[in-house]
Structure 1
C-alpha cells in the first residue's frame, strides 16, 4: 500500500470513528460510502482494476457520482448566501457572500423534489407552474447536528410569511425568556452584551458655539458613515455602533452622543400586534420562546403570541370561543409544544424586519448557520 493510500484510509477511518462516537450516524454512512469509493478508485484488486479499465461502465459511474456528490454537498453540508439588505449592518453588509454551514444544526432533509438542487429544475420544466411545488410534500425531518441553536448565532432561514431566505442573529434560543428594555436584551432575566458591530439610531449634538458642523467633522462622518445627515440646531441623526459612538465622543466639537430608543410605532405594530401591550422594538416582552415539550398555560396573551405557530407549524385547529380555548375541537387550558423555535433580530437594531415584527422562527425553516464571509468589500469575517 502506497503512502498516499495509507493516509487516505487513515483519514476516512478517523472520520468514521468520530461520527460513530458523536452519534452522527448519517455522516458515518457518508464516510463509509466515501471509503468504499476511495477503495475502488485506488485498490489493485483485480475486480477494481477491471472496473476502472471498463470505460463504458466507469465513466458514466463517475459522472453519476459527481452529480450525486454535488447535490449532497449543497443539500447536506454547505451553501453560499448573498446578503440582500442592510438589516445586519455593520456585521455584514449588502452584497457580502457568506458560507452557510448546514451541519451545525443538522441538515434539513428536502420536503419536496423542489428542495433538491438541480433535480428541482427538472420538476419545474415538467410542471411549469408555481402550484406544482406543493403537489409532492414529505414530512419535515432534520438530521442530528454538531450543536443546538445558541444566542448570538447568525443563521439563514426562510421567512415565515414571505418564503424568502433571510439572515439574522439568534437573540432567543428555544426555551429562553427574552425581554428588551430600552434596546438592551435580557435572556432569562440576565443582560446580554450587544454584538460588537450592532448599530442603533443615535443623536449627535455639536458644540453650541458653532452654528453649522465643522467641515472636518462632516467629512469624517461622511467618510466613515455615509448616511450622516446634518439637521438644524447642530445635531445629527445617524446609525452608530458602540465603538463609533465612543470615537465620536472624543471629537472636540461633539458635545454629546447618545443612543435613541424608539417609541411605540402607531402604524407598524410589533408582534403579536396588541396595542394594549404597548410593546415596541426597544421595549419588548418578556416572552418565552417555545421549544419541544414546553407546556404553556393559555390566556389572552399566550393565545395571541402562539396561536399562529400552533396552527401553521404545530398543525392544529386552535381557536378561542366564549373565553375558552379549543384544540382540534377539544377544550384545553394548557398547550404543549412539539417543535423548537427561536427569536431572530438584525444587528441593525432600528432598521430590521425580524421577529419583533413577524414572530417566532420555527427550526424547520432554518437553513443553517452563517460561519464565515467568503466575499466582502471590507474583507471582514462574521463576528
Structure 2
C-alpha cells in the first residue's frame, strides 16, 4: 500500500469519524479532545446517552464488544435527534460522512440522554415505532453486527477438500481468527452480506467491483509463521475467466511452510527451509505403493484411516507414516513403500507451468526439472528485496511482479520492460508466503501456482467446533472426538 492510499484510507476510516464525534461532544458540553481517546470516548457516550456505566465492561469482551459499541453509537445518534431508520443506518455504516456532517451542522443540537425516561416522554411521538420498523431495525442491526464480527474478529470456515488430511478432514467446521494476523480492511466494500463471491442459487456476482479500496491491514497479534494453518484467498482467481478482486477470491486453507526471505526446497517429500528439515505436520500423508499376497480386509483400511478412493484393491493408497509402519506388520503385505516422484523428473509444477517462461534473453533457458516431491530450491520474496531478472528468475517471479503487484511486464527484443522501462531488477512491495497441504499428493498448493501475497492472507485457523462425516451412517455423522479440538 503506497503512502497516498494509506493517507486516504486513514483519513476516511479514522480521522473523519473522530472529527465528527469531537464536534458532537462539544455540542453536548463535553471537551472535544475526549473523542480521540479510544474506549474512553465510548464511556463519555454512555454518560451522554444515559446508559448504565457497567456497559463499558461489555465493550472489552471480544465479539460482544462490537455489538455493544454499535448500540451505544445508535443511542448517541438519537441524543441529537437522529432517530429515523435512515439516520441510524447513515450514522453506523457511513459514520465518516454523517458524523462530521452533523457535528458541523448548527441545526443539529444535543437534546439530552436518549435512554432517560424524560427524553422518551418528551420525544415519544418521534420515537414511536411500528412493529415492522422494529423488526427491520433489529434485522439490520444483526446483519451489520455480524458483518463487522466476520470482517474484523472471527469467521467460520468449512473444510471442502482432503488436501489437509489427516490434520483436517472434509466436513470439519473451523473458526478462523482475523485478529492474529490483523484484520484486513474490506477491499471490495459493496457486497451482499454473508455471500463471499457468488450469490447462492442465482450464481451471479455477490459484489460490485466498481469500487475497490487499497489494501490495508490493521495491527495484529503476530505475523504468519512457519507451521501455521492459514486461510487465504486463492491467488489464481486473479486470472480469466474469473478475474475476481483480492478479497473475493476463493478461500483456501493450507499450512505455511515458508516465510518471506526463506529459501525452500523439497527433497524426497521432505521440506527444507534455509537448509534445515522442517518438522512434518501432524497427520501428514502421501501415496504409497502397496503389494500384497491377497486382498486386505477393508476394515484394516478403515481402522488405519487409509484412503483408497473407494477401491479396496488400490495399489496406491494414501496414508500416514504411522499407518504404513503398522501395515508392514501384516503377513499378507509383501511391501509398502512411499510413492516418491524421482529427482530430475519434470512435472507440471510452478514455474514449469508458468506463462512467464521466455526464450529470448541472452542466457541459457533453464529447465526446471521439479516435481511435487523434489522441488526447488526457491527463494520466497520479501518486501524490499531486489531480484535480478534473467531467464532463471523471470519465470519464478514474473507473476508476482505483474499480477500481484500491478505492473505491466513485457519482454521486447530480448529486454525485460516493467511499465515501459527497460530493467533487469525489481524490488518487491509486499511479503510473500509458501503454502502446502498436509496431504502432499492430493493438494493443489504453492508447488503448482507459486507464492501467496500478504494481501491475500485472511486469518489463522484456531479450532474445530464441529465435524460432520457425510460417508458415515446416521448415528455416526458427528465426529465427537474432533469437537472443539485445537489446530496444530
> Does TM, normalized by the shorter one, top 0.5?
yes
Q: CA deviation at 1:138?
A: 1.4
Contact 1:75 1:116 in 2 (8 A): no
Q: CA deviation at 1:221?
A: 2.1
Partner of 1:220: 300
CA 1:181 to 1:267, structure 2 compared with 1: closer, same or farther past 3 Å? closer
Q: CA deviation at 1:287?
A: 0.8
* Deviations, residues 12-51 of structure 1 (Å, cap 9, x unaligned): 5698xxxxxxxxxxx9x969947956998xxxx9653236
1:56 aligns with 2:56: no
1:84 aligns with 2:160: yes
CA 1:313 to 1:61, structure 2 compared with 1: closer, same or farther past 3 Å? same
Residue ranges of structure 2 left out of the alignment (5+ in a row): 1-51, 77-111, 238-248, 358-365, 469-478
**1:336 aligned to 427, 448, 454, which one?**
427
Q: For the residues of structure 2 that align with 1:68 and 1:14, how far apart are their CA atoms? A: 18
Q: CA deviation at 1:356?
A: 0.8
**2:330 aligned to 211, 226, 251, which one?**
251
- Which shows bigger deviation, 279-288 or 219-228? 219-228
1:198 aligns with 2:270: no
CA 1:14 to 1:120, structure 2 compared with 1: closer, same or farther past 3 Å? closer
Partner of 2:219: 144
More contact order relative to length (CA 8 Å, sep ≥ 6): 1
Contact 1:91 1:197 in 2 (8 A): yes
Contact 1:113 1:119 in 2 (8 A): no
State the Cα RMSD in Å.
3.7
Normalising by structure 2, report the TM-score.
0.63
Contact 1:101 1:370 in 2 (8 A): yes
CA 1:120 to 1:185, structure 2 compared with 1: closer, same or farther past 3 Å? closer
Q: CA deviation at 1:282?
A: 0.7
CA 1:321 to 1:47, structure 2 compared with 1: closer, same or farther past 3 Å? closer
Q: For the residues of structure 2 that align with 1:338 and 1:32, how far apart are their CA atoms? A: 38
1:311 aligns with 2:383: no
* Deviations, residues 312-352 of structure 1 (Å, cap 9, x unaligned): 11111122334432221222232110012111111110011
CA 1:31 to 1:374, structure 2 compared with 1: closer, same or farther past 3 Å? closer
Q: CA deviation at 1:268?
A: 5.4
Q: CA deviation at 1:219?
A: 3.3
Q: CA deviation at 1:256?
A: 3.7
**2:260 aligned to 157, 161, 174, which one?**
174
Structure that is richer in strand per residue = 1
**2:175 aligned to 76, 86, 99, which one?**
99
Aligned residues: 351
- Which shows bigger deviation, 160-169 or 340-349? 160-169
1:368 aligns with 2:456: no
Secondary structure, aligned partner of 2:208: helix
Secondary structure, aligned partner of 2:371: coil
**1:242 aligned to 316, 321, 327, which one?**
321
**1:74 aligned to 145, 150, 154, which one?**
150
1:108 aligns with 2:194: no
Secondary structure, aligned partner of 2:447: helix
Partner of 2:388: 297
Secondary structure, aligned partner of 2:128: helix
**1:135 aligned to 179, 200, 210, which one?**
210
- What does 1:8-47 align with in structure 2 at a 5 Å threshold? 9=56, 12=59, 33=69
Q: For the residues of structure 1 that align with 2:428 and 2:150, how far apart are their CA atoms? A: 31
Partner of 2:229: 154
Q: For the residues of structure 1 that align with 2:268 and 2:368, how far apart are their CA atoms? A: 15
Secondary structure, aligned partner of 2:235: coil
Q: CA deviation at 1:183?
A: 0.6
- Which shows bigger deviation, 54-63 or 98-107? 54-63
* Deviations, residues 45-70 of structure 1 (Å, cap 9, x unaligned): 96532367765389687665444322
Structure with bigger gyration radius: 2
Q: For the residues of structure 1 that align with 2:465 and 2:323, how far apart are their CA atoms? A: 25
Partner of 1:359: 450
